Amino acid sequence: MLGLVTLLLFPLPGFCLLAYYHETNLSEFLDLQNTKLISIGYGLELGFAYAFIAYLFMKAPFFEKLPNRVDRIIDQLPLTYADGIFLSICAGIGEELLFRAGIQPFLGPWITSVLFVALHGYLNPWNWRFSMYGLIVLPFIFIISFGYIHFGLWFSISAHFAYDAVLFVIMIKEKKSSTVYF
């Protein structure tokens, strides 16, 4: 349900902003004229690579003391691989339409990136360890924000999807391999 909310409702404020202030139509908002396989390929490659880097950091002993680590939250949910891929698609499309296509034209890539990471809770002044993870994620968000400018929306969507999908698959696999059957 949360995935569908992200996919269907998150883009609405961004579209409304652009439609009102820039007279953008739905096709322009979805950047359909700029959908190129090479941009999608670059985005997938970036997302896959950065997810593995972030995962290595997440497994560092430094982050072990975080009470609300993402992998622990995933452990508590009955997610399948298909669920993880579905949530990755929803987040990739919904969040990038909101932040990259909707907000970034008004706030620019720097502020939008910091806002994106902060709204995910990764920049937390009361939990410096969690903020350290935010500083690991922030360069990735900067890259997809500037990639949006140079390669288009679908680069950002594919990078975000790949990043989330890799982390979901790894965490679900770890959860399944640690399950003990009697």
Residues 79/172, Cβ–Cβ less than 8 Å: yes
Query: Which stretch of 52-56, 124-128, 164-168 has the lowest confidence by average pLDDT?
Result: 124-128
Dihedral of the alpha carbons of 50, 54, 68, 171, in degrees to the nearest 10: 80
Tokens of 60: 């560092």
Q: Is the pLDDT of residue 154 over 50?
A: yes
pLDDT value, residue 167: 92
The residue among 31, 68, 53 whose CA lies nearest residue 156 is 31
Sorted by where each begins, the domain ranges of the chain are 37-178
Which is more confidently placed, 130 or 26? Answer: 26
pLDDT in tens, 57-97: 888 887 776 655 565 666 677 888 999 999 999 999 999 99
Residues 156/144, Cβ–Cβ less than 8 Å: yes
pLDDT value, residue 58: 82
Tokens of 112: 């939008």
